Amino acid sequence: MKKIKIAIVGYGNLGKGVENAILHTPDMELAAVFTRRDPMSVKTRTGVAVYSMDAIESMKKDIDVVILCGGSANDLPWQTPMMAKHFCVIDSFDTHAKIPEHFAAVDASCRENGTLGIISIGWDPGLFSLNRLLGQAILPDGKDYTFWGKGVSQGHSDAIRRITGVKDARQYTIPVPEALEAVRGGETPDLSTREKHTRECFVVAEEGADLALIEKTIKEMPNYFADYDTTVHFISEEELRRDHAGIPHGGMVFRSGRTGANGENSHIIEYRLQLDSNPEFTSSVLVAYARAAYRLYNEGQIGCKTIFDIAPVYLHPESADELRKKLL
Amino acid sequence: MKKIKIAIVGYGNLGKGVENAILHTPDMELAAVFTRRDPMSVKTRTGVAVYSMDAIESMKKDIDVVILCGGSANDLPWQTPMMAKHFCVIDSFDTHAKIPEHFAAVDASCRENGTLGIISIGWDPGLFSLNRLLGQAILPDGKDYTFWGKGVSQGHSDAIRRITGVKDARQYTIPVPEALEAVRGGETPDLSTREKHTRECFVVAEEGADLALIEKTIKEMPNYFADYDTTVHFISEEELRRDHAGIPHGGMVFRSGRTGANGENSHIIEYRLQLDSNPEFTSSVLVAYARAAYRLYNEGQIGCKTIFDIAPVYLHPESADELRKKLL
C-alpha cells in the first residue's frame, strides 16, 4: 500500500502532536518538517528531517498533504493560501469570526492552482461545529449549548501574563455545574455568560508585586474576565510547574429539542470531550482529515472544504465495505 | 422556495413521527402516506391523503423522496429496493448483520434505475455508527464502547409476550452504572455482556398463571436474557398502561484513546442520547437525511449510501456559507 506522505509546517505543540499521531496511522508517513527557524536548531523526536520553509516547493513530489501547525493570529492567514498554491493543505484556523474570510482566501488559491484545502479542523472549530450542525438538522425545534472545559485557555493565560508584576500564569475555564446539570436534565434555560462558565487563575507573582492590584486587574479585565466569576490563586513557580504543566481541555455540545404533535417529547444529544492534551487531540483530528484531503483530491476534487463538507467515510483507513460491515 | 415533497410508506409509530417532524421543517412538505392496509381505514393526524401502495407509481411527479417506515424483518428488505426503482428512498433498516446484503440490493436497484437510496438511518445504526467511525479515525490507539439505555427494547418485550401466561410486558435495557463510570473516568476495561447492561422486565400475567415459571422462563431465555442480570416485576395491566406507556431510549458511544510519544495522554469522546421517544427521534434523523438524499440526487448522484457517505452540509436547511458563518 502506498502511504500518504505528510509534511508539517511549524514544529510547536501542534506539529509535535501530528508527528506522534502519524506513528499510529499505518497508512501515513511523515515526509518532512518545515520551519521558519534555522532548521539546524530544530531536532524532531522521531528523527524526521527538518527543512527551511523555502525548500518546500522543491519537494513537491515527496509530499501529498501539508498540515499547517502555526497560529491563527499570525501564521495561517497567509501560510495556508500560500501553501495551497503547490500542495493540498489542512489547518486548524480557529478565529471563528474570520473563518469566512480565511475560507475565501484558501478557496481562491486552491481553485487557481488545482489543489484541495481543508480549514478549521480540530474540536472547536471542528467536531463541536459538526455536532452543532447535526443537532440543529435533526432537532430543528430546539436549543444549542456549548460548554468549554475544564481546561486551560491559552489566550486567557497570556492575558494574565501581560499584567505588570506577573511572572507566569495558568487560567482554567470551568463550566458551571448547575448550568450543565440543568441542560443535561432537559431544561432549556437562557444562560448568561456568567451563568455558563467560571474562570480560575493560578498566578506566579514577581517578588514584591502588589498582589491585590494584580487580582483586581485580572477580575476587571474587559472581555477576558469582567463578565465571569473569577477566582485568583497566587502560587509559587514550583507549584505551577508541578501541578499545572498539562494542557487539558474539553467540553460539551448539547442539542436539546422537542418532537411530537405538540412538542410533548424531549430529546437531548450530548457530545462530550475530555482531553488530557488539547494540542495532541487537535493533531489527531488534523491527521484523520488529512487522509480525507488526500482521498478527495485523488477523486478529482479541488477548492476549500470544512468539516461540514467531508463525508465520514473518507476519514477512516478501512474501506466503505468494511466500515458498513463492522461499524454501521 | 420549492419544497421537498416527501412520501411516507407505512403509518406506524415511525411514519407518524415523520409526519410530525416534517411540520418543523419549512423546506419540506408531506405529499402522501402509502399503506398496505385499506387506505380508507387510515386517518392521518395532519389530514394528509392516504393511498394504497399500488397507487404510488402514478404519483411519481408529486414525490421527491420516499421515507420507508416499515419493519426491518419483513418490510424493508423488499420494499426499499422495490421503491428505489421509481423514487429516491431512505430507510432505517436496523438488522446490523444483514446491512451488507440490504445495501447490495438497494444499490443494484438504484443504479439500474438512476435513483438514490440511503439505508440504515437512525441512531443505531445511524448516529452511533457515525460516532464509532469518527472515534476510531481520530483516536486509532483506543477502544470503543457502546451502551444502550435506559430504554425500552421492543424485541425483548415481544420475547416476553410470547411466553405462556403473559398478557403484556415491557423490557428496559439499562447500562450498568459502574461500567459507565469506569469508561467515562478513563479506564478501558474489558466488559462482558453481563457487566455492561442489566435487563428489567415489567410483566402483566394472566389470571392464575404460574408466576415463578414465567420468571424462570424469562431469566433463562437464551440470547435475550440468559447472559444478563435480569429483574422481573409483576404488575397490573393498569400499572403498565400508567407507568410504562412511553418508548424512551438512548445510550452512549465512547471512544477512549491515547496519544503522545508513549501514549501518555488519554482522551475520552462521549456521544450520548437521552430520548423520550425512540421512534420520533429516529423519524427526525430520517427527515434530515431525506433532505440530503434530495440534494445529492439533484447533484446527479445515484446508488445506495449510508450515514458514512453523507457530508454534513447536506443535512441542514441553511447554505454552506451561512453554516460556516454561524456554526463553524
pLDDT at B16 over 80: yes
Contact residues on chain A for B137, CB-CB shorter than 8 A: 288, 291, 312, 315-317
**Among B258, B143, B135, which residue's Cα sits nearest to residue A21?**
B258
pLDDT at B253: 98
| Residue B67 near residue B98 (C-beta atoms within 8 A) | no
A36-51 per-position pLDDT tens digit: 999 999 999 999 999 9
Contact residues on chain B for A264, CB-CB shorter than 8 A: 276
Contact residues on chain B for A129, CB-CB shorter than 8 A: 327-328
A123-156 per-position pLDDT tens digit: 999 999 999 999 999 999 999 999 999 999 988 9
A250-278 per-position pLDDT tens digit: 999 999 999 999 999 999 999 999 999 99
Q: Which amino acid is at A113?
A: N
At residue A1 the predicted structure's pLDDT band, cuts being 50, 70 and 90, is: confident
Chosen from A324, A325, A326 to mutate, greatest number of chain B CBs within 10 A: A324
pLDDT at B32: 96
| B24/A141 CB distance under 8 A | yes
| Residue A33 near residue A15 (C-beta atoms within 8 A) | yes
The dihedral sign for the CA sequence B296, B301, B306, B309: negative
A116-131 per-position pLDDT tens digit: 999 999 999 999 999 9
pLDDT at A317: 97
**Among B160, B232, B158, B149, which residue's Cα sits nearest to residue B197?**
B149
pLDDT at A228 over 90: yes
| Residue A250 near residue A274 (C-beta atoms within 8 A) | yes
Long-range contacts of A183-186 (CB under 8 A, 24+ apart): A183/A145, A183/A254, A183/A256, A183/A268, A184/A254, A184/A268, A184/A270, A186/A256, A186/A266, A186/A268, A186/B274
pLDDT at B1: 73
Answer whether A182 touches B (CB < 8 Å).
Answer: no
Q: Indicate the DSSP class of residue A139.
A: -
**Among A138, A265, A132, A260, which residue's Cα sits nearest to residue B25?**
A138
Stated as kind and residue range, the H or E segment containing A205 is: strand A197-205
pLDDT at A59 over 80: yes
Phi, psi angle pair for B326, to nearest 5° = -95, -35
In percent, how much of chain B has pLDDT > 70? 100
Expressed in percent and rounded to 5, the helix, strand and coil fractions of chain A are: 40, 25, 30
Name the average pLDDT for chain A.
96
B76-114 per-position pLDDT tens digit: 999 999 999 999 999 999 999 999 999 999 999 999 999
At residue A177 the predicted structure's pLDDT band, cuts being 50, 70 and 90, is: very high
pLDDT at A219: 97
Asked which of A85-89, B151-155, B232-236 is least confident by mean pLDDT, the reply is B151-155
**Among A42, A303, A64, A107, which residue's Cα sits nearest to residue A53?**
A42
Looking up cell 446491512 gives: B99
Answer whether A150 touches B (CB < 8 Å).
Answer: no
Surface-to-core class of residue B45, CB atoms within 10 Å of its CB (0-12 exposed, 13-18 middle, 19+ buried): exposed
What is the average per-residue pLDDT within A296-313? 98
Contact residues on chain B for A127, CB-CB shorter than 8 A: 134, 138
pLDDT at A80: 98
B29-58 per-position pLDDT tens digit: 999 999 999 999 999 999 999 999 989 989
Name the B residues in 93-112 with CB < 8 Å from any A CB.
Answer: 96, 99-100, 103
Answer whether B72 touches A (CB < 8 Å).
Answer: no
pLDDT at A57: 87
Distance (Å, rounded) from C-alpha A327 to C-alpha B8? 28
Distances (CA, A) of B189 to A317, B179, B185, B250: 25, 8, 11, 22
Distances (CA, A) of A311 to A6, A291, B309: 21, 12, 5
pLDDT at A162: 95
What is the average per-residue pLDDT within A107-121? 98
